[in-house]
Structure 1
Amino acid sequence: AATPLGVAAPSASDVIITPGSQGGLGAAFHALVGTGNPLLVESPTYWGAMLAAARAGVRLVPVAGGPAGPDPDELARAFERTGARAFYAQPNFANPSGAQWSPALTERVLDLVRDAGAFLIEDDWAHDFGITTDAHPVAALDDSGHVVYLRSLTKSVSPSVRVAAVVARGPARDRILAEVQAQSMYVSGMLQAVAWDVVSQPAWRTHLRGVRHQLASRRDLLVTAVREHAPSAHIEAVPPGGLHLWARLPDGTDLPALVRDCEARGVVVAPGDEWFPAEPTAPHLRLNYSGANPGSFPDAARVLGDVLAGR
């Protein structure tokens, strides 16, 4: 199948198959960072990566991020201050913020990683979920082995198809492979054959185009509903892809109480605190527009607005 990694296309020997992305993250963190050592992460960042880091025993160092990605000046200071050898990030449609890095930011981060003699552990989980833009893997620009690239089929194919891949080169690849083999030994050949059969069919591209259109309509419907019925849940930027909206709530919002009150009225929202590796900068909610029944979005937004207004 076609690779998204452009001029830096990997050879077969560079690719390590893992049973889902979580195992790949844990193996990469343990192999490339090591117990007790610092790992730089965007803040907010994917909670599953924080869980994998905790299991690997690495120490998280947050780098402030926003709707455009991490602050490169803060990233540079974090590398200098900590001596970290790795930075975990989601350059395309980050969970939870939806941020996508610009070409300029991508080049700056790559330069910082190279100068630090470090690795960028790139989690391209939402590669297939571009809406107004396509995903542009940082790994496509890396010709020196500083980017370790992780991609999964779990969300774009099925939760039952727990097949992911880590792409790495040289000694980094060897260390990660040893970790993967120690954790899981191998990934079912039958499951790999199922995954290959799906993504090699002509209908796969048709499926992805359909997903893109559905996500666009659902995202726009939820954005409109929240802005109309719950305007105090501020959406700073409409994400160009991914599955989530990231909403800033008014200062002083009792987030646990809000989540409980929404759930009592039949609306499930995710508290943003879970996505911060340190003290949250402000109360946030992560709202998912990829689920079933998008026709309920306006009613759900009304409930959120009423709860925020104390009604």
Structure 2
Amino acid sequence: MSESNITQALVTSLRAEIAGLAVGDRLPSARDLVRRHGVSPVTVTRAFALLAAEGAVVTRPGSGTFVAARRSSRDGSADGVADTSWQTVVLADRTMPAPSEGELLGPPASGAITMAGGYLHRSLQPTKALAAALARAARRPDAWDRAPTAGLAPLRAIFARQAGGDVGAGDVLITSGGQSALSMAFRAIAAPGSPILVESPTYPGALVAARAAGLRPVPVPLDADGIRPDLLADAFATTGARLLYCQPTFHNPTGAVLSPERRRQVVDVARAAGAFLVEDDFARHLGHGAPVPRALVADDRDGTVVHVTSLTKPASPSLRIGAVVARGPVMERLRAMRRVDDFFIARPLQEAAVELLSAPAWERHLRALANALRERCAALVTALAREVPGWLPGQLPAGGLHLWVRMSAGHDHAAVEAARARGVVISAGREYFAAEAPGDYLRLGFAATADLGELAEGARRLGA
């Protein structure tokens, strides 16, 4: 009898045996089957592999082979629901961060007014300029060629000029948006289990990225002038952290701008601690008309600052183009991670970004956007003063997309649910804190609504 026939005969015998067992029962060991059927260990291994492929058994190294959940050929399981419980053991304690409150509440109802989220409404996006840039990029003869790992040289040069100082194109790595850049930077700099200092409050996406990298966020309070250097120095000394994440310009969610005297102090404190400072400069193009401070990286010559920026906020959420600016070994590590993660960013999108940023329409868009954001911010403050005077922010932001409002104790979650019931989506403040929040807050956005009329209607509903 051929080896294949011997294997098939053993499979048939085991199928009959499995039919009389319950799910989870252990099958005889390979040694028992060799002795009972007079076959070789290789034959037993092949038989178990065939049965596993059929979904009849599951093999657990070191434990044995067990009867799997019964499956039908029509829907994959006896009751129509796939059994993925085995994954719990494999994934062990490698948990991902919990979803935000907005995700737990589900998608907004049709017709709801969105005063949450962090992207521009379509009416504020440079859609015509984006379409023209994409069309011009598509006509390039090399548009579908492989892009360099670090990104297209012209695009890197543009981001270098935006960063300022003596930053050059060689210091820039193109990324797939800002969130990807943060994830790369956190994983490149800090080992799992390490602390990472963050402003309190801070951007929830940074907290998620840090925890997904196995880092432990440690909050450092801020005030109207940004993160407090005295408490930052204490945090470095207490935790031994070697990484700080901060948003010096138009901080999300408070809108604070790190004051001129503190900008130098914060970098000096990080350098003295032998730590990196990840500067999230996502809002550089979201000012409301006033001059925007220089990026921290522009005055950093020692490689302390790792600068992260993106085009998704001022342009479109689907323009997934960002950049990391770094110097020294950390940049080499980032480039190595790029080669492991995804090789390079899609060239057509990079070409489109070059076309967009090089066209006169981009500067016109930024000027119009600044005027529109300033107008919307003022309109929302006026509407809140009329409809919900207790919800006025402590300070008006000079840039960004949101107002940060302090609530009465214990009312933030109730306000979010009540607003949703009236067709308005807002964000509770608790998800912006790495630890216990010092109070109850709301984040109210003014850039995701269709127009000023919708903002006024949203405020009226909130007043209800």
2:131 matched residue in structure 1: none
Shift of 1:298: 2.6
- Is 1:264 aligned to 2:430, yes or no? no
* Aligned-partner SS, 2:181: helix
- Is 1:296 aligned to 2:454, yes or no? yes
* Aligned-partner SS, 1:235: coil
1:247 matched residue in structure 2: 405
2:318 equivalent among 147, 157, 160: 160
User: 5 Å matches for 1:30-109?
Assistant: 30-109=187-266
Greater shift in the superposed pair: 290-299 or 169-178: 290-299
* One-letter code aligned to 2:284: H
RMSD after superposition: 1.3
- Is 1:284 aligned to 2:435, yes or no? no
Conserved in 1, the CA contact under 8 Å of 2:167 and 2:298?
Answer: no
* One-letter code aligned to 1:133: A
* Aligned-partner SS, 2:424: coil
- Cα displacement string for residues 169-225 of structure 1 (whole angstroms, at most 9, x for unaligned residues): 010111122223322221001110000100010111111000000000000000111
Conserved in 2, the CA contact under 8 Å of 1:247 and 1:285?
Answer: yes
TM (norm. structure 1) is: 0.94
* Aligned-partner SS, 2:244: strand
Greater shift in the superposed pair: 63-72 or 102-111: 63-72
C-alpha distance in 1 between matches for 2:204 and 2:164: 29
C-alpha distance in 2 between matches for 1:224 and 1:181: 50
- Cα displacement string for residues 118-164 of structure 1 (whole angstroms, at most 9, x for unaligned residues): 11100000110111423321111111111000110112121111011
1:309 matched residue in structure 2: none
C-alpha distance in 2 between matches for 1:228 and 1:261: 19
Aligned-pair identity in percent equals 44
- Cα displacement string for residues 261-280 of structure 1 (whole angstroms, at most 9, x for unaligned residues): 11111111111111111111
Conserved in 2, the CA contact under 8 Å of 1:4 and 1:140?
Answer: no
2:297 matched residue in structure 1: 139
Structure 2 unmatched runs, 5+: 1-157
* One-letter code aligned to 1:123: D
1:121 matched residue in structure 2: 278
C-alpha distance in 2 between matches for 1:166 and 1:227: 40
* Aligned-partner SS, 1:247: strand
C-alpha distance in 2 between matches for 1:27 and 1:54: 13
C-alpha distance in 2 between matches for 1:76 and 1:298: 43
Shift of 1:283: 0.9
* Aligned-partner SS, 2:438: coil
2:347 matched residue in structure 1: 189
1:211 matched residue in structure 2: 369
Shift of 1:33: 1.4
C-alpha distance in 1 between matches for 2:326 and 2:273: 18
2:356 equivalent among 183, 198, 205: 198
* Aligned-partner SS, 1:197: helix
* Aligned-partner SS, 2:349: helix
Conserved in 1, the CA contact under 8 Å of 2:381 and 2:392?
Answer: no
Runs of 4+ in 1 over 4 A off after TM superposition: none
2:57 matched residue in structure 1: none
Conserved in 1, the CA contact under 8 Å of 2:161 and 2:168?
Answer: no
Conserved in 2, the CA contact under 8 Å of 1:15 and 1:167?
Answer: yes
Shift of 1:5: 2.9
- Is 1:176 aligned to 2:368, yes or no? no
Which has more radius of gyration? 2
C-alpha distance in 2 between matches for 1:40 and 1:181: 28
* One-letter code aligned to 1:86: L
Conserved in 1, the CA contact under 8 Å of 2:183 and 2:213?
Answer: yes
- Cα displacement string for residues 41-99 of structure 1 (whole angstroms, at most 9, x for unaligned residues): 00110011111101111111100123321121110100111111111000000111111
2:382 matched residue in structure 1: 224
C-alpha distance in 2 between matches for 1:234 and 1:66: 17
Conserved in 2, the CA contact under 8 Å of 1:233 and 1:248?
Answer: yes
Conserved in 1, the CA contact under 8 Å of 2:289 and 2:371?
Answer: no
C-alpha distance in 2 between matches for 1:34 and 1:285: 33
Structure 1 unmatched runs, 5+: 307-311
- Cα displacement string for residues 6-60 of structure 1 (whole angstroms, at most 9, x for unaligned residues): 32x3222211111111111111111111210011000110011111101111111
* Aligned-partner SS, 1:238: coil
C-alpha distance in 2 between matches for 1:196 and 1:132: 24
Conserved in 2, the CA contact under 8 Å of 1:234 and 1:249?
Answer: no
* Aligned-partner SS, 1:232: helix
Conserved in 1, the CA contact under 8 Å of 2:287 and 2:400?
Answer: yes
Conserved in 2, the CA contact under 8 Å of 1:24 and 1:180?
Answer: no
C-alpha distance in 1 between matches for 2:362 and 2:432: 32
Conserved in 2, the CA contact under 8 Å of 1:38 and 1:58?
Answer: yes
